Chains A and B, each alone.
Chain A
Amino acid sequence: MSLAQETLSSLRKKLSAREIAPEEIVRDLLQRMEKTEPKIKGYLRWDAEDALRQAKEADISKPLGGVPIAIKDNINTRGDGCTCSSKILEGYVAPYDATVITKLREAGAILLGRTNLDEFAMGSSTENSAITTTRNPWDTERIPGGSSGGSAAVVAARSAIAALGSDTGGSIRQPAALCGIVGLKPTYGRVSRYGLIAFASSLDQIGPMTRTVEDAALILQTIAGPDPRENTSKNLPVPDYLSLMRQPLKGLRVGVPKEYFVSGMDREIEKAVRIAVDWYAKNGAEVIEVSLPNAEAAIAVYYIIATAEASANLARFDGVRYGRRAKDVSDAIDLHARTRAEGFGPEVKRRIILGTYVLSSGYYDAYYNRAQKVRRLMRQDFTEAFKKCDVLLTPTSPTPAFKVGEKTQDPVEMYLADIFTTSANLTEVCAISIPCGFSTAGLPIGLQLMGPHFEEEKLLRAAWNYEQAHEWHKQEPKL
């Protein structure tokens, strides 16, 4: 068996026991990547030599010492590119480390490989990458989900032990569900955004994508915590996730929001999630039906707020200081306009235009302001719901992985892939997706758990207990 197939926690045990060395893990992974990458294309690039050097220097006594982790290519790592899978960042080399990268380095992790994403994390299939299209390891005709599709695919394909993703409207959880892995979006403010190239600043969070709940807890333990470089990071101590997650289910109240089980949803997904709900009821948890009355507005609110913020966040890509620059321009305005026209892909342009529109004078109140009001109502809904329950249980994605090209012609249909996930970002709560079954076509199905602000331990406890009693996460795609 290749070390690439093992989980982070099992590798850590073996490393601590001196049964294996970090270089062996890196070599096994590189070998695995050579085999799977031609089919999956989850990585944009990796530096084998540098990874082996890091492995040699790795301090095994550290919490993540000696374990390689793949990074979504929208997180700045000093000395490396950070493309956001966009042409506009061609040639950009990050002069600084994101806070999560600093924390991973300090915890002894090896940084190995940069993963593909929808351009600027805008998309749900990774087809919006301007560099390459990543395939789902369970069926390479299908998409891996997005926008952290590269990270999800390589973790599922066993060509990465674990990865970091970012989640603005479901970008960690939806690809995790579609690739049969664990994806955790922490509470807004729990993990520093400093160094994550912003899509929508009030929604973005970095989180772990792993094969087990325990691995997710391990990484969260390292990357969570206050950051003086981020004003919106929350100054709260980080609890001991690994021990809290092992608390028994007994007494945990699982809320099932009725609005998330809509007529017309995929039958196999509904069935798999219902079975999971029953499992919780039978295994010590208390299952309660709850209501989130404003849930149906989530997609509309999300696409107003996210695009508004993105329209300003992406304004800095103008060819003046870094990245791609249009040639033979006549003046500064021409430089801005042509650099952006040539550098951005169609979905990014669509969202910039949409965001510019909703902020325009005369439309601001009808769109942006109204969306903010509904966002506040949604937050109240969640606060009310969490008075009755500890976690909310829903499907992660309305469908299993769809075929490459299937939804690219209809942006709205693509947007609906995030129908169950955007609420957690809008309300800033934490959420996790874990495997809960397979469709008859053999495609993974994920269930989503959402928890109150800064109570990730409740999510991990609910998820870990479920995972202990099931084998879904142990299934490997045949490649």
Chain B
Amino acid sequence: MNYEAVIGLEVHVQLKTRSKMFCGCKNEYGASPNTHACPVCLGLPGSLPVPNEEAVRLTILTGMMLGCKIATVCKFDRKNYYYPDMPKNYQISQYDMPLCEGGAVVLDKFAFPKECQKDPEANAKKPIRLVRIHLEEDVAKSFHFEETSGIDFNRAGTPLMEIVSEADIASPAEAFAYLTTLRRILLYGNVSDADMEKGQMRCDVNISVRPVGQKEFGTKCELKNLNSISGVRRALEHEIQRQIEVVSKGGKIVQETRRWDDVAGQTFLMRVKEQAHDYRYFPDPDLLPVRTDSGLSDAAKASLPELPQQKKDRLIRELALSEYQAEVLSSDQPLCAYFEKASIATKNKAGVANFLINDFLATEPDTSSIAIPPEHFSSLADLVGEGKITSSQAKTVFAELVKTNEAPAAIVARLGLQQISDSSQLEKLCDDAIAANPRSVADYKAGKKNAINALKGNVMKATKGQANPAVVDEILAKKLAS
């Protein structure tokens, strides 16, 4: 029997705000423990929360980027449960009136793992529907030492957005593509740095299997401790196999939470889900309902960026880039922004894209701050486009450019790389080459057309590679024909 997987993801995203969700403490990753903690985020008695409008705006912005319906009024609720890293023993969250509902993440072909990009599922532009996006506060972080435990409250109260998908995801590769696409959109909106290793983006997975054709869902398991997008994919591959093995042997899946061990490449049982936890949600009396139509939605709309897919389409349509170039650039927002600056002043836009993708990325994978002035790329592309230097000379110039940040024209002058296209100058050199290589001339005339390359090589050598090969070709052919 054939089985299929049914997967839903809950993604928590730390928002990139200056201060925390309900107090003025800095929202900063990596500070020494408990240095960003005040009475409010420590949950000290008598302290009160005040909502961070910026966090609300970023959540609305995310909802807009994902095509969600934005609530005109939302409220905060208390979610009650005891845990040592939760300062108040209730979490301020949103229960029945989330900020965003509906929407979808459309899976992009290039967001799939490389080896899957030719598969039909990667080309289906499948929308993964969203249930909701709500805003809440993060909890503190526990550390366990040999005999004691410690809690770092720097994270407590950090604004956290929870994005819940429908169970529309059918494979580990789709889950990979979903997270990659979603992450790219979040980066585009500058909503979060969404670094999974830093815990800025965290993912819980619900996964079940069922025989193909069956309508009812199988019993689901929840997977935790997924610290990278590829880890999610590996964990799902393993868990699907595990569940299929159990079911196909006539066994039953027990609803449970399992922990992914990336090193062992296996999931392990954490806890069996007892009856649903009663969180006793109720509206937080310390917080007034938030109206989004009183300026917050407008502010979010004003900060809506061009989304990756829109950007890609535009690069192809307006700048005549190839799909591959457009994809590589649009998948990396800082690189793309750089490209747009670097290509303004030149007609050879594809040339700039090529230098960035083929030459620059090979030497410098970090695109967050590119030291080379963008106009140097346009001049370099112009030099090639206008036939002033050859492509192989351009590579030399580029290597110098990376080292010195010097203007390409200056490099060309300094290295004496100007391409020689002047026919009178080249004609003389061609005559010399013909005179010095009677054998090649004979071969050529005997029909070995390749022999012209030896002559051309001679001219190139004599000009230290500066001769315009196309012009040399033309002159030689003309001379040899006579």
Residue of B nearest to A331 (CB): B84
Residue of A nearest to B42 (CB): A321
Q: Is the CB–CB distance between A321 and B48 below 8 Å? A: no
Number of A-B residue pairs with CB-CB distance less than 8 Å in the complex they form? 101
Query: A341-362 toward B: CB 8 Å interface, digit per residue (1/0)?
Result: 0000000000000001001110
Q: Is A320 an interface residue (CB 8 A)?
A: yes
Q: Is the CB–CB distance between B82 and A316 below 8 Å? A: no
Query: B279-291 toward A: CB 8 Å interface, digit per residue (1/0)?
Result: 0101011111000
Q: Is A322 an interface residue (CB 8 A)?
A: yes
Within 8 A of A (CB), among B262-300: 278, 280, 282, 284-288
Q: Is the CB–CB distance between B46 and A194 below 8 Å? A: yes
Cα separation A202 to B285 with both chains bound (whole Å): 5
Residues of chain A within 8 A of B44, CB atoms compared? 76, 94-96, 321-322
Query: B17-53 toward A: CB 8 Å interface, digit per residue (1/0)?
Result: 0000000000000000000000100111111111100
Residue of A nearest to B280 (CB): A359
Interface stretch, picked from A107-115, A277-285, A307-315, A413-421, is A307-315
Q: Is B219 an interface residue (CB 8 A)?
A: no
Q: Is the CB–CB distance between A228 and B82 below 8 Å? A: no
Q: Is A426 an interface residue (CB 8 A)?
A: no
Q: Is A179 an interface residue (CB 8 A)?
A: no
Residues of chain A within 8 A of B49, CB atoms compared? 231
Q: Is the CB–CB distance between B151 and A320 below 8 Å? A: yes
Q: Is B90 an interface residue (CB 8 A)?
A: yes
Cα separation A312 to B282 with both chains bound (whole Å): 10
Q: Is A75 an interface residue (CB 8 A)?
A: yes
Q: Is A89 an interface residue (CB 8 A)?
A: yes
Cα separation A195 to B90 with both chains bound (whole Å): 19
Q: Is B78 an interface residue (CB 8 A)?
A: yes
Q: Is B87 an interface residue (CB 8 A)?
A: yes
Residue of B nearest to A200 (CB): B285
Residues of chain B within 8 A of A82, CB atoms compared? 45-46
Known: A96-B39, A315-B90, A318-B89. Is A198-B46 also a contact (CB below 8 A)?
Answer: yes
Query: B66-108 toward A: CB 8 Å interface, digit per residue (1/0)?
Result: 0000000000001010111001111000000000000000000
Highest count of chain B CB atoms <10 Å: which of A74, A94, A200, A321: A321
Contacting A230 at CB < 8 Å: which of B48, B87, B282?
B48
Q: Is the interface of B mostly helix, strand, loop or mixed?
A: loop
Within 8 A of B (CB), among A291-328: 308-309, 311-312, 315-318, 320-322
Cα separation A360 to B281 with both chains bound (whole Å): 9
Cα separation A202 to B80 with both chains bound (whole Å): 18
Contacting A312 at CB < 8 Å: which of B80, B84, B278, B288?
B80
Query: A193-216 toward B: CB 8 Å interface, digit per residue (1/0)?
Result: 111111011100000000000000
Cα separation A103 to B347 with both chains bound (whole Å): 67
Cα separation A198 to B39 with both chains bound (whole Å): 14
Query: A227-252 toward B: CB 8 Å interface, digit per residue (1/0)?
Result: 01111100000000000000000000
Residue of A nearest to B39 (CB): A96
Contacting B280 at CB < 8 Å: which of A92, A94, A336, A356?
A356
Residue of A nearest to B278 (CB): A361
Q: Is A462 an interface residue (CB 8 A)?
A: no
What size tier do the contact residues of chain A reach?
A: 35 or more
Known: A316-B87, A333-B82, A360-B280. Is A309-B43 also a contact (CB below 8 A)?
Answer: no
Residues of chain A within 8 A of B80, CB atoms compared? 311-312, 315, 359
Cα separation A423 to B25 with both chains bound (whole Å): 38
Residues of chain A within 8 A of B83, CB atoms compared? 332
Q: Is the CB–CB distance between A315 and B286 below 8 Å? A: no
Known: A194-B47, A321-B42. Is A309-B84 also a contact (CB below 8 A)?
Answer: no
Residues of chain A within 8 A of B39, CB atoms compared? 95-96
Within 8 A of A (CB), among B155-192: none
Q: Is the CB–CB distance between B46 and A336 below 8 Å? A: no
Q: Is A98 an interface residue (CB 8 A)?
A: yes
Cα separation A312 to B51 with both chains bound (whole Å): 19
Q: Is A368 an interface residue (CB 8 A)?
A: yes
Within 8 A of A (CB), among B401-460: none
Q: Is the CB–CB distance between A195 and B46 below 8 Å? A: yes
Contacting A229 at CB < 8 Å: which of B43, B48, B87?
B48
Within 8 A of B (CB), among A148-202: 193-198, 200-202
Residues of chain B within 8 A of A92, CB atoms compared? 45
Nearest first, the 5 closest Cβ-Cβ pairs linking A and B are A315-B89, A202-B285, A201-B285, A359-B280, A197-B45
B interface residues with partner A (beta carbon < 8 Å): 39, 42-51, 78, 80, 82-84, 87-90, 151, 278, 280, 282, 284-288
A interface residues with partner B (beta carbon < 8 Å): 74-76, 82, 84, 89, 92, 94-96, 98, 193-198, 200-202, 228-232, 308-309, 311-312, 315-318, 320-322, 332-333, 335-336, 356, 359-361, 364, 368
